[in-house]
Amino acid sequence: MGGVPIMIALIETTDPVRAKGFLEDWIGFLEDEGNDYQTEIYKGATVFRDDSAFVYFAAVGDYLIIASDSDLLEETIDRIQSGGNGESLYSNPKFQ
């Protein structure tokens, strides 16, 4: 056994604007505590990433996303933006 466990969490919100503001405030707090987050845009979504800690955050549509793997975060953003169409987690080899 080894490596970083693959984890993703989605938090649904009823106010995407406030949720994104909360996420930006949270990232600011984490940076004040010494974490080094980089900001990038992936398909229109703002992604906050700290590759050294294996933590990735994004606010997309009605969801806040937290993940331990950047590829999984991007796949989840794709799925949300496509309206949920596409491969299910059950059929994804990463989850077998």
pLDDT given at position 7 = 92
32-76 pLDDT tens trace: 999 999 999 999 999 999 988 889 999 998 999 999 999 999 999
Question: Could you give the dihedral angle defined by the CA atoms of residues 89, 38, 43 and 24, in that order, rounded to the nearest 10 degrees?
Answer: 90
pLDDT band at 10 (very low <50, low <70, confident <90, very high): very high
| Percentage of the residues of the chain whose pLDDT score is greater than 90 | 70
> Could you tell me the CA-to-CA distances from 25 to 15, 21, 32, 92 in Å, in that order?
15, 6, 11, 33
